[in-house]
Chains A and B, each alone.
Chain A
Amino acid sequence: MIDEAKEDRRAEGDPFFPHHMLEQGMVIFIVLGVLVLLVMMWPAPMEPPADPFNTPEHIKPEWYFLSAYQGLKVAEYFAFLGDWAPKVLGILGQGVGILLLILLPFLDRNPERHPRKRRFVIGVGILVIIMLAALTIWGKLS
């Protein structure tokens, strides 16, 4: 009897409450702990007040916009196509990128879900991740 019940549970999974809820609670407390630790070790920075007449030398966005920022800079290499090219290509690239991300499930019609059975999409995804990481690091260092 007990074995049967166990088998059933293995097939169906544990109930959300209390098993899964306990695990989620633990994860949430860990995240809260990490957050408070970050705040105490590295408090939110207090920069000097805004001064419209004093332009700082290096203006860089937050880290999560660094790849987009560096992407726009890379687009400047296309200046040989004309004055319009760098800016238009840069912003067009970002717009198309977001559009492709939204349309991903409609472009990738392969019904397989295992990563080994859809090497093309996974490969493109890994390339995009490497590109974003590289642009972020490049933006940080430049």
Chain B
Amino acid sequence: MIDLEKKEDEQQKQTVEQRSGLRELFELFSLTGFVYGPLDSRLNIREALEKNLKKPVPPHVNWLFCFGGISLFLFTIQAVTGILLLMYYRPTIAEAYKSVVYITNSVPFGWLIRGLHHWGANLMIVMVFLHMLRVFFYGAYKPPRDFNWVTGVMLLVLTLGFGFTGYLLPWNQISYWATTVGTEVPGAVPFIGTYLTALIRGGQAIGQTTLTRFFAIHVVILPLTIGFFLLGHFFMIRKQGISGPF
């Protein structure tokens, strides 16, 4: 009896709230209300969220499986700090070094943002490598995950590409001369070597064209390409699931 009365009370309350429209208004403006209300009725958000959040993680997953996730986290750190650096960095041979000094010494927390980008890059390469070693020793690259291994190697190459192109951008002694030596390497390719080096440098020597080129590759071309491969990598993980125990 008491339960029934309670239920009736609640129903009455709800109708009063609905009549006032306040609750609906509140739910619409609060994120949960919007996501679970109008958006859910169109896109089935609730079902998708529950399916994804309640998906069981197999019990054999141990701490060795965390390197891929850490790599993704470091990638987002690189994206965010990179965008913030873009606000002050100037990609010309006259201004690049000065702008980096300005970022480090004068921009509020500029030292922190630049430091995070610097150390995040180094740590990301470590984590990507550890992730690859885990996948290798667990034999997780075998079918049906063979194509995901291929996207993974592409992600490794792209990460190294980020490292190589980003290294030149501060336009200091080490970056200038390391890039001079590094861009000589493709010159050893038979027949087309000299053309390759000229293509990468945008001329015979490292100069403004090289800096512009590396800047464009570092902030536009590589992020777009790595985004494409990341999506493929994650869709395949989601579809095929985490690899089982041995």
Confirm or deny: A119 has a beta carbon within 8 angstroms of a beta carbon on chain B.
no
CA distance A28 to B115 in the complex (A): 18
CA distance A87 to B119 in the complex (A): 32
A113 and B142 in contact (CB under 8 A), knowing A35-B116, A98-B157? Answer: yes
Q: Which residues of chain A from 55 to 114 have any CB-CB distance to chain B below 8 Å in the complex?
A: 55-56, 59-65, 69, 72, 84, 87-88, 90-91, 98, 101-102, 104-106, 108, 111-114
Q: Which of B133, B167, B178 has the most CB of A within 10 A?
A: B178
CA distance A39 to B52 in the complex (A): 36
- Contact partners of B190 in chain A: CB under 8 A: 84, 88
Query: Do B137 and A24 touch (CB < 8 A)?
Result: no
A17 and B53 in contact (CB under 8 A), knowing A102-B150, A112-B139? Answer: yes
Query: Do B119 and A39 touch (CB < 8 A)?
Result: yes
Chain B interface size range:
35 or more
Confirm or deny: B87 has a beta carbon within 8 angstroms of a beta carbon on chain A.
no
Since A35-B77, A59-B181 are in contact, a sample of 10 more A-B pairs with Cβ atoms closer than 8 Å, ordered by chain A residue number, is A12-B56, A47-B170, A51-B173, A59-B174, A61-B182, A63-B122, A98-B157, A102-B150, A104-B149, A115-B137
Interface residues of A (CB under 8 A from B): 9-17, 19-21, 24, 27-28, 31-32, 34-36, 38-40, 42-52, 54-56, 59-65, 69, 72, 84, 87-88, 90-91, 98, 101-102, 104-106, 108, 111-115, 118, 122, 125, 129
Interface residues of B (CB under 8 A from A): 52-59, 61, 63, 66, 69-70, 73-74, 77, 93, 97, 100-101, 104, 111-112, 114-120, 122-123, 125, 133, 136-143, 145-146, 149-150, 153-154, 157, 160, 163-164, 167, 170-178, 180-182, 185-190, 205-206, 243, 246
